[in-house]
Structure 1
C-alpha cells in the first residue's frame, strides 16, 4: 500500500492533469462506464463539523475508492485548513487498499478543474471578462484554472467582505489581468463567465441581471439548502451538471426543481457534451449554467494520477499493510 502525504501532492500533479482527469470522469459518467455511490454527509454534533464520504467506481480506469472528510469551521484558529479530506484507493481486482492520499489540495484542484472543464466546453469562445463571486480558500484555485480556458482581458470580483478580495487581486496581478472589485450588479453587467464559489443558502445572483450569452458555473459548497443563484434563473437557462442526482438534492438545482421552474429531465450531463452526444451551447445568446456538485470519481481520478507520479518519482511511501 502506498501513502502519499499532503505535503508532496503539489509536486506530482498540475492543473492540466486535473483538467484531463476530471474531463475524462465526466465523459465516463455520461457513457455509464463509471458511477458514484450515494453521498453521506452529516453534522457530527462536535466542533460544528460536517463529515462524510464520496465514493465510486470507474470501470475503464479501474479507479475504486472513497474520499473521507468534511468541514471544520474552527480549523483556521488551529493553523489548519477548514476543509480536511483523505482519499483511499482500492485494488478493483482484490479489494485491498492500494493507496492513501492526502485530499486537501486535490479537492481544491479538482473542484477548480470541474468549472474549468465547463468553461472550456460551454462558454462563448470570445468570452473576455471573468467574474468571481466569493473570496474563500477555493476562489484563487477557480481563478487560476478558469482563466486558462479563454483569452480573458479582465477579472471582476465580489465578496460580502470586500477586503478579502485582496488575495484574488494578487492572483489576477500574477496572471497579468486587470482586476476590479464590484457589486453583484456590476459583476453581472460586465461578465461573460461567472463563477460562484460561496457557501450561501440565500440567492446572491438575481435572474434578471444575468446577460444573454453568459456562462455561469455554480461551484459553492453543495449541501441541502445551498443556493447561490435565483431559482428563476435555472428555469430560463440551459442547465448542465456533473451528476443529476446530486444536482437536484444537494446542488444548485434543488430549489428550481422543487418549485417547478426546472424539470429534472431538462438537466444535461456535461459528459454528454464532452462525448459529443449533446451539442452544448447552440447560440451566442444562450445562457449556460453548470451546477458543479463535486463527485467522488473526480477525487479518485486525481488521486490515481498522484499515486502513479509519486511511485515513478520514488516519493511514495510503500507500507506493508
Structure 2
C-alpha cells in the first residue's frame, strides 16, 4: 500500500483538480454509477468531539474507500491543531486490498470548497458581483478562494460571530484585488448575490427576511443532526439542490425544513442533475437557489485518488508492505 502524508498534500493537488474531481463525482452520483454508504457520525463524549466515517464507491472513477475523522473544537486552543482531523483510506475495487492511506485534513478543506464552487458555477446568477461569507474559520478561506474563481465578483462582504477573525477573509479578498467589508447580517442578506455559510452553528444565523432578490446560498457547515445555519423558512422559499438526498434530509441543512413540513423530499434536487443537463438549475434572475452541501465520502475519495496517482508519479508516495 501507499502512504501519502498530510505534509505532502499541498504540493500535489490544486483547486482546479479538486473542482474537476468533485464535479465528476456529483455527475456520477446523479447517473447512479456511484453511491455513498450510510454515514456514521457520533459525539464521543470526550473533548466535545464528533467522530465518524464516510465512504462509498464510484464505478466510473473506480474509487472505493472511506474517510475516518471528525471535529475537535478545542484543538486550536489546546494543541495548536486545526479542529477538523481526518484520514482517507482507499481500496482496490477489484480485490478489496488496501491501496492507500492519505492525509485528509487539507483534502477535506479543498473538496468542501470545491463542492460550493461547483454549485456557484451551475446555480449562481451570471452577473453576480457581491460575494457574502458567513463564518471566518479555517475552512472559510478555502471556500472564498474557490468561490471567487467562479464569477467576476467586485466586492466581498462578511460576518462572523467573532469579528476579529474576519481579517482572514480580508486577506483572501486582497489576493484577488477585491475590497472587503465587515457587515451585519441584514446588509449581507440584502447585498450579496452569492452567500456561503461555513460555521458549526446549531442555531439559524441567516434568516428568511434578511435575504433579498436573486441569490445563491451554499450552506456548507451543516453535516450533523441538529446543526443549522439558515432559517428553515429560507430553505423552504428557495429552489433547493444538494450533493446527496439521504444526507440532506437527515444531517444537512434541509433537516429542519423537512421536520416542520415546510419542505418535502420531492422538493430537493441533485446538483449532479444540473451538471448532467437533466435539470435546468436556476430559471430566473430573481430566484433564490440553495445548495445543501452535506459533504459526501465520494468527494474525499475522488480527490484522494488523484493525489495518490500524482504522489506515485512524483516519487513522493511511501510504499509499505502491508
Calculate the TM-score normalised by the size of structure 2. 0.99
Q: CA deviation at 1:212?
A: 2.3
Q: Give 1:194's aligned residue.
A: 195
Q: Give 1:179's aligned residue.
A: 180
Q: Give 1:223's aligned residue.
A: 224
Q: CA deviation at 1:193?
A: 0.2
Cα RMSD, aligned residues only: 0.7
Q: CA deviation at 1:235?
A: 1.4
User: d(CA) in 2 for partners of 1:313 and 1:197?
Assistant: 34
Q: Give 1:304's aligned residue.
A: 305
Map 1:109-128; keep pairs closer than 5 Å.
109-128=110-129
Q: CA deviation at 1:25?
A: 0.6
Q: CA deviation at 1:202?
A: 1.0
Q: CA deviation at 1:167?
A: 1.1
Q: Give 1:92's aligned residue.
A: 93
User: d(CA) in 2 for partners of 1:42 and 1:311?
Assistant: 34
Unaligned runs of 5+ residues in structure 1 are: none
Q: Give 1:75's aligned residue.
A: 75
Determine helix, strand or coil for the equivalent of 1:217. strand
Q: Give 2:46's aligned residue.
A: 46
Q: Give 1:207's aligned residue.
A: 208
1:295-320: CA deviation from partner (whole Å, max 9, x where unpaired): 00000000001001111101110111
Q: Give 2:64's aligned residue.
A: 64
User: d(CA) in 2 for partners of 1:192 and 1:45?
Assistant: 40
Q: CA deviation at 1:171?
A: 1.0
Determine helix, strand or coil for the equivalent of 2:114. helix
Determine helix, strand or coil for the equivalent of 2:66. strand
Map 1:127-206; keep pairs closer than 5 Å.
127-206=128-207
Is 2:23 the partner of 1:23? yes
User: d(CA) in 1 for partners of 2:12 and 2:222?
Assistant: 26
User: d(CA) in 2 for partners of 1:3 and 1:122?
Assistant: 37
Following TM superposition, where does structure 1 have runs of at least 4 consecutive aligned residues deviating by more than 2 angstroms? none
Q: Give 2:295's aligned residue.
A: 294
Q: CA deviation at 1:48?
A: 1.9
User: d(CA) in 2 for partners of 1:87 and 1:35?
Assistant: 17
Q: CA deviation at 1:168?
A: 1.1
Q: CA deviation at 1:143?
A: 0.4
Q: Give 1:35's aligned residue.
A: 35
Q: CA deviation at 1:135?
A: 0.7
Q: Give 2:102's aligned residue.
A: 101
Q: CA deviation at 1:221?
A: 3.8
Determine helix, strand or coil for the equivalent of 1:235. helix
User: d(CA) in 2 for partners of 1:100 and 1:249?
Assistant: 29
Calculate the TM-score normalised by the size of structure 1. 0.99
User: d(CA) in 2 for partners of 1:137 and 1:260?
Assistant: 34
Determine helix, strand or coil for the equivalent of 1:204. strand
User: d(CA) in 2 for partners of 1:112 and 1:247?
Assistant: 18
1:248-271: CA deviation from partner (whole Å, max 9, x where unpaired): 100000010111111101100000
